[in-house]
Chains A and B, each alone.
Chain A
Amino acid sequence: MLRIHRLPRCLLPLLLLAITGCVSYQVPDADYQPFNRALHQHVRHIGILTPGVAEDLQVRIVNPAENNLPLLGPLVAEGVAASRSSRLEALTAQQGFRQGPTMLDSLRKTLERAGYTVSHIELDRPEARFVRRYQDYPAVDALLDAYGTHAGYYAAGSSTPFRPTVFMGVRLVDARTRTVLFSDSFVYNPIGDTGDAITLQADAAYAFTFYDDLEAAPDKAVEGLKQGYQAIADKLGVLLR
């Protein structure tokens, strides 16, 4: 009999995947808190904490046809996805693209356009989630804490196009009192149940019918991802005005 408790822990997700063929996409865990701008007018200087990034860029078919083959099918699909994902990560890296700095750049531009003075506060994040305990940063009025759970190119099924996808959670915290002033989650190119997250439609100009098309145009792939980050940042900018 299979003794599950003797299996290495890292194999358990693969075993579950092989049995169920299910992959869930985690929406950032951000309770809804709109920003009461009129009451927090002291917030003029925002420090953006180095954004958190959950994982490398992914190229995924959310419901691949292979999942219909029991046991081996999902594992094959997972192998294909892993191979494509690492290829996309390498191709976009050649274009000088990195998720964290792109996220930071988009947020900085947006907040400056919204009239805030913006600084970058370097932070080492061991995991992609909101910061557990905020340090003292007396130079700023509020801290912008953002992290992403998924990013890359996702397709709904084996015969639907790959579209740029970004999941992001954002919080604005009072630097002095640590009170959460704003909190929400954003999904660019919604996949499955996105709960209460703000959903933004992916730009049709960056949809790729086949994976090969995506690989053949890494500059366009990078541009599509940048558009995703910027679309989220732009919406955030409106909500923080």
Chain B
Amino acid sequence: MSLRRLFAILPLAALVSACETLPSRADGCLAEFNPRGAKTLKVNRSSSWNLRIYEDAPCRKNADGSESSYQILALDEYEQPYYVQVLSLTSRDRELFAPVVAALDADARVTRWIPSERWVYRGDRLTASLFFNAENARDRYLVVMSNPLKVGQTVKQRLQEQERTSLLIASWYGGDDRELNLKLTRYGQVQLKARRDPSVE
């Protein structure tokens, strides 16, 4: 096979291979997490990782019969303690992904998760962090999944803001309480930041 033909086939092969290996909603809703083809979450990158969990995301059937959409990332090779900060972002439609974040072992079984009380609001973002230390060596993956107990609930967040009313060339400034009724949803966008823990350096 000529080199030119090989280069022409390679992207197509990669595309077909990706379609075959990545888990999706089309696989059905399974009782186990499927880490096949999980990308690696690199530690201490200055950039953050955007995870999109939408209708095509893989689905997990929970023990109580409820369903969760999820995405899995493989953890970087452990070198020193680090944490992953998870930020669930509000969409323009004022929808907020209702997250559960857990660590999984090599068999994709849950080893631990971020307790619900540790989630905090930072404005219209819902955030929490999970540490990875030497004693968590069993952890191989990080799963971000929707919380079926929270999906459908509405959370009120009030922000006090300046508002401007314009009439022709004149503007009137005032202040108002901006009530955000954030609807917790099964689908949405999550940002992840993996950073070394500076408290142990």
Chain A residues at the B interface, C-beta cutoff of 8 Å: 21, 32-36, 38-40, 61-65, 67-68, 154-160, 174, 179-182, 189-192, 194, 196-202, 235, 238-239
Contacts and interface: CB of A to CB of B under 8 A. Distances in A.
A180 B162 contact: no
B198 A33 contact: yes
A190 B159 contact: yes
Contacts of B176: 156-157, 160
Mostly, the A contact residues are mixed
B175 A155 contact: yes
A36 B123 contact: no
B81, B121, B123, B174 — most chain A CB neighbours (10 Å) = B174
Interface of B: 81, 83, 85, 117-118, 120-123, 129, 131, 133, 135, 156-163, 172-177, 197-200
16 contacts: A34-B85, A36-B200, A38-B133, A38-B135, A39-B81, A62-B162, A65-B174, A68-B172, A68-B173, A157-B175, A180-B199, A182-B199, A190-B158, A194-B123, A201-B158, A202-B158
A154 B160 contact: yes
Given A38-B133, A39-B200, A21 B173 contact: yes
A21 B175 CA distance: 13
B160 A191 contact: yes
A33 B199 contact: yes
Contacts of B200: 36, 39
B173 A63 contact: yes
B161 A156 contact: yes
Given A33-B199, A36-B131, A194-B123, A63 B158 contact: no
Contacts of A159: 174
Closest 3 CB pairs of A and B: A157-B175, A63-B175, A156-B160
Contact of A179 (B158, B172, B199): B199
B174 A196 contact: no
Contacts, number: 101
Contacts of A158: 174-175
Contacts of B174: 63, 65, 68, 157-159
A198 to B, nearest CB: 5
A192 B177 CA distance: 10
Contacts of A21: 173
A191 B161 CA distance: 7
A198 B118 CA distance: 12
B113 to A, nearest CB: 15
Contacts of B122: 194, 196-199
B156 A201 contact: yes
Contacts of A235: 120
Nearest to A196: B122
A182 B176 CA distance: 34
Contacts of B118: 238-239
Contacts of A200: 121
A34 B83 contact: yes
A179 to B, nearest CB: 5
Given A21-B173, A39-B81, A155-B175, A198 B120 contact: yes
Given A39-B199, A156-B175, 8 more contacts: A21-B173, A34-B83, A63-B174, A157-B176, A179-B198, A180-B199, A190-B123, A199-B122
Nearest to A204: B158
A68 B174 CA distance: 8
Contacts of A64: 175
Contacts of A35: 199
Contact of B160 (A34, A62, A174, A180): A62
Nearest to B198: A33
A68 B170 CA distance: 10
B86 to A, nearest CB: 11
Given A38-B135, A156-B175, A199-B123, A192 B198 contact: no
Contact of B173 (A32, A39, A67, A179): A67
A156 B160 CA distance: 5
